[in-house]
């Protein structure tokens, strides 16, 4: 099923968004291919044929990027990690997950999915142009370029620089060896910095001494890698305290008002929450967000039930957040010393508590 939602393309459950300037980049690519690349490798009688071929190729470069991101997405969905959306930037794309992989093997497989998809598309394109077609046909040159560009996309993303797929593969390997996500992220940052420094040194050496003619290309590549690494450093540095992971609520004694307040800030997560019944004094009772009337935020008393395993996180009780517990919603209430202190992304809080060997930081409270 294909539809549109908030200027995003929705295919079944896949949500695709793109940078508003991407069509301009496509036009520039079409111009470069039709005026610079294809006239150098083939002869056509009519100029519009170059533009037709160049435009078609530019579109399929974007399709290749989508296929690359779908490789990540399919693997993530196979591992039961939902995809928030696929977003296309000016020079690349990203498959955004609803929550981070919580095991090294998951991060490895998801990171590998993109390059595998690109290299598979390169092999298919190579087979079509080299085995099925011959140079007298226009599609031969199209599939030859498509094979080359997908080979470059696959190999480029394997560079061990975060947040490229190679950087994520490196972190997952270090994570599996060291058993700790935080230290693996720090080592990945150090190794990425080293590779960028090597690229910059090689670009300067080429320009001043080697003079191969590729100094400009090498310099641009090194600067782009530096920019990419700079944008991804926040994830590598991210080591939150409990204050960062537990979101306090402003209405401590009124469930409907609390839900309304959360809806004003994070309306999309209401149906993915389990809320505590704050008016209950005898035992902890909860209600699932899908049972709350969104217009009035009224609580249906017939949908209220006693809290069970997977309905909440108690910071004093590791049995409520250990790996064997299957959470009944993405967002759960958090208790400390038998007092409700806020809501949290349950998987995220569990992940960081496990990585830190307990509660990360000291909850200071509102």
Residue 299: helix, strand or coil by DSSP? Answer: coil
Q: What is the pLDDT of residues 172-225, one digit of tens each?
A: 999 999 888 989 999 999 999 898 888 888 888 877 777 666 666 677 777 878
For the segment 159-177, what is each residue's pLDDT rounded down to a tens digit?
999 989 999 999 999 999 9
- pLDDT value at position 207? 74
69 is catalytic: yes
Q: Is 219 helix (H, G, I), strand (E, B) or coil?
A: helix
- List the structure tokens of 360: 């990360």
81-90, 210-219, 247-256: which range is least confident on average?
A: 210-219
Distance CA 45, CA 25 (A): 27
- Contact call for residues 33 and 57 (beta carbons, < 8 A): yes
Tokens of 72: 């990540």
Asked if residue 275 lies in contact with residue 333, where contact means CB atoms within 8 angstroms, the answer is yes
Check residue 318 and give left, alpha or beta (phi > 0: left; psi -120 to 50: alpha): alpha
pLDDT (0 to 100) of residue 296 = 67
Ramachandran area for residue 95 (φ above 0: left; ψ -120 to 50: alpha; else beta): beta
Report the distance separating Cα 348 and Cα 335, nearest Å.
16
The sign of the CA dihedral 303, 309, 311, 317 is positive
Tokens found for residue 178: 């060291």
Per DSSP, the three-state class of 105 is helix
Longest dimension (CA), the chain: 85
Q: What are 129's two structure tokens? A: 């142009």
CA dist., res. 56 & res. 38, Å (int)? 12
Give backbone dihedrals phi and psi of 209, rounded to 5 degrees, phi first.
-125, -50
Q: Which of 35, 45, 69, 264 is catalytic?
A: 69
Confidence band (pLDDT; 50, 70, 90) for 14? low
The answer to whether residue 9 scores a pLDDT higher than 60 is: no
Measured CA to CA, the distance from residue 196 to residue 216 in angstroms comes to: 16
338 to 153, 223, 246, 284, 352: CA distances (angstroms): 52, 52, 15, 9, 21
Average pLDDT over residues 141-164: 90
Tokens of 28: 């520039």
* The length of the chain, given as a count of residues: 366
Parse the chain into domains and list their residue ranges.
2-240, 243-356
pTM, entire model: 0.82
More reliable by pLDDT, 267 or 364: 267
Q: 353 CB contacts (<8 Å, ≥6 apart)?
A: 318, 321, 359, 360
Residue 342 has pLDDT above 60, yes or no: yes
In CATH terms, is domain 243-356 a member of 3.10.580?
Answer: yes
Separation of alpha carbons 55 and 113, rounded Å: 28
Cβ neighbours of 170 (radius 10 Å): 24
Question: What is the structure's pLDDT at 213?
Answer: 65
Mean pLDDT of 289-307: 78
Res 110: pLDDT: 95
Residue 131 has pLDDT above 90, yes or no: no
Tens of pLDDT, residue by residue over 57-79, are: 888 988 999 999 999 999 999 99
Tokens 């537990």: give the residue: 246
């Amino acid at each position: 099923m294909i539809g549109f939602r908030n200027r995003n393309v929705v295919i079944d459950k896949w949500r695709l968004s793109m940078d508003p300037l991407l069509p301009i980049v496509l036009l520039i690519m079409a111009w470069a291919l039709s005026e610079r690349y294809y006239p150098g490798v083939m002869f056509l009688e009519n100029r519009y044929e170059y533009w037709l071929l160049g435009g078609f190729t530019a579109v399929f470069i974007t399709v290749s990027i989508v296929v690359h991101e779908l490789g990540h997405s399919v693997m993530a969905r196979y591992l039961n990690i939902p995809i928030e959306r696929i977003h296309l930037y000016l020079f690349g794309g990203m498959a955004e997950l609803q929550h981070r992989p919580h095991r090294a093997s998951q991060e490895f497989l998801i990171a590998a999915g993109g390059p595998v998809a690109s290299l598979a598309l390169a092999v298919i394109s190579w087979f079509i142009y080299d085995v099925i077609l011959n140079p007298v046909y226009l599609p031969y040159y199209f599939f030859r370029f498509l094979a080359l560009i997908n080979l470059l996309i696959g190999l480029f993303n394997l560079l061990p620089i975060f947040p490229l797929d190679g950087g994520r593969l490196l972190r997952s390997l270090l994570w599996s060896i060291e058993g700790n996500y935080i230290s693996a992220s720090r080592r990945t940052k150090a190794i990425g910095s080293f590779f960028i420094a090597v690229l910059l040194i090689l670009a300067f050496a080429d320009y001043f001494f080697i003079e191969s003619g590729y100094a400009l290309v090498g310099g641009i590549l090194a600067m782009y890698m530096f920019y990419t690494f700079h944008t991804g450093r926040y994830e590598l540095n991210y080591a939150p305290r409990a204050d960062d992971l537990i979101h306090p609520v402003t209405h401590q004694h009124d469930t409907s008002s609390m839900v309304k307040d959360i809806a004003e800030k994070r309306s999309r997560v209401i149906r993915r929450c389990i809320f505590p019944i704050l008016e209950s004094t005898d035992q902890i009772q909860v209600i699932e967000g899908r049972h709350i009337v969104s217009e009035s935020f009224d609580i249906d008393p017939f949908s209220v039930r006693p809290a069970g395993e997977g309905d909440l996180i108690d910071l004093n009780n590791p049995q409520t957040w250990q790996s064997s517990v299957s959470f009944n919603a993405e967002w759960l209430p958090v208790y400390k010393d038998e007092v409700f202190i806020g809501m949290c992304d349950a998987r995220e809080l569990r992940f960081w508590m496990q990585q830190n060997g307990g509660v990360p930081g000291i909850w200071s409270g509102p």
